[in-house]
Amino acid sequence: MMHWLSYLSKNFGFFIRNERAVLGLPMRLTVILIIGVVALIAILAFILNPCLFPDKMIVVVEPIVNEITTGDEATFDIDVHVTDSSGNPVKSANVIIDGLGGAGSGRTDEYGDTTVQIMVRLEPGRIQGFLDVTVKAGACYERFSQSDMIAVVRG
């Protein structure tokens, strides 16, 4: 019986006792765990934001200057056209115009157009004020935000 154990130990000793493998096991597990975590982060980043380089939006607003002819309040219809940097229309973008005590929003159609209606008020004694424009689209577009983009003047 002893002869058989010594034979296995001599010829197949690495199966019975291999201290190098036992000592290297925690290091191997650590490396595998780190690689797995990095791969999981990369997969989740791609799922949550499929665009590595979001495109910029170009926003055109008309009229850029609006005039209050009587009183301190007025309601304006502002046309907004949204395209990407290649000139293609951006559909389903949320357009928000706010300032001077009012706010309005709209969603662009398949041609990148929307009309936002907003009621504004100029305080007595003020001759002008400004409206801010914010446009948000899908994950593949950078958020557009421009303060004081639209002027409101007293006529």
pLDDT tens sequence across 79-106: 999 999 999 999 999 999 999 999 999 9
> Which residue type does 117 have?
Q
Domains and CATH numbers, the chain: 2-48 (no CATH), 57-154 (2.60.40.10)
Q: How far is CA 4 from CA 1, 9, 33, in A?
A: 5, 9, 40
- Asked whether the predicted pLDDT for residue 128 surpasses 60, the reply is yes
pTM exceeds cut of 0.85: no
Lowest mean pLDDT among 24-38, 56-70, 95-109: 24-38
Q: Based on C-alpha coordinates, what's the Rg of the chain? A: 33
pLDDT tens sequence across 35-59: 999 999 888 877 777 677 888 999 9
Mean pLDDT for all residues in the chain: 86
